Structure 1
């Protein structure tokens, strides 16, 4: 074999390897539940918390299940396992969260978003843990964006008032001052959080300031910065400051956390907090957005 032929064959093999590596890249859509849980932990195909698993919910959808009861810190390893599995190496992820799932994801990125992660093979075992792919590592995860349905990164006054079972470790984490001091909400490892705020509240949710979806108020679902919650509303409400769309400061001058943008504000007060096992409430709004953009 001539020297020229050997060089040609070598280049041809390398090109096939490059094409093969490129073709193996996959996008995934991860759904991270909130309080109460429901899906089987470790089973990324268990969508009990959300609704029928036959419903479209983004490309290669996976349900990242945690128990929705214990503390954010104690359950966080479940989320890191999923991100390692599906969002390392050539693979990229879209992430959707609900309620305390927003607190969970924010905590993950603030504390581990710049950590060294071994690249995984996207083939989880029964515990939801994947094997190493090639033995190399990377910094953080490959995440395109996070879309938060009724994000509870700023906590809820229902937790402050003991309206939920006060013995739950997660409820203690969801106190407004605790949630807001838990991690640096401005540190998202440069991943954008797109916030979806529901406003179909009820009379019994009167302890929630401003507009709310029965469980979480606009100060949290809108990603408003600060050490405690405030009162924010739709433009039609004259009695409190407006929650603005996008990244702009709210009426009255309060800022949103860095890399947080309000994509949906429930001006018609049509969407409550609950998925109701059928992708309902504000979760349904996020699901539609994910279907249209996670591909």
Structure 2
């Protein structure tokens, strides 16, 4: 390590991002000649040209292309370790945009009270809610997402998380559905219904199907939608049934008209518990503004979803 200059890591990150010695020099406050000498040192250290001339421009070598994203993430991680922020944050003056990723069901229930809580304490903060097509940790690693709300994946062991709440699937049908006419809902009667399911990947099969199969049953999935609110809207106007996280029904208690049109019920099969967490990259762990954001999300979830 005595021969390793971490300044070269930052220079490599900027050079690969700019693909220009002049552009990199401008960003780092160096002269083009100093930046050129740094590129020479990097070529010597890595044993690869990294950037080569193509006409009037520079283009990365295959090795340069391969390491560009890794270098960017590593540079930010190193900066987070060597320059942690210990100061207190002035929330009234905090001028920052946070990008949160969550599914539609969570946003439908928690987004409004969360925005209210954040605007009350930090009126200059901006929130951008991003879609959640999967559990890929790459946006967290690259800094494109500040905080994710959902079930933690298994592909990124370095990612930090904090439990927000535990949830479970419940069945939902419209009031007056034939499923409610004959007493308890049996597995056979439930499986005989036509179903609408929520799947970001567009798959017909899920944990309910696995549970039914273990009991020797198979259901008919007639519709697939990307979000839980879509499933509830279809169920509200048809004889299809669905299952959603219990938290998705929180807002129904505030609207008597909605209660009269939708009726939840306990599924006749057992499905895995849903563990919903706040998830972030460790480079933001010590950041006071991000720490405040995490605490606010936790507090709002506990208040809104207490059951």
> Same fold by TM-score, threshold 0.5 exceeded?
no
Structure (1/2) with the larger helix percentage? 2
Question: Rg larger in 1 or in 2?
Answer: 2
TM-score range, shorter chain: under 0.3
Larger relative contact order (CA 8 Å, sep ≥ 6): 2
TM-score, normalised relative to structure 2: 0.26
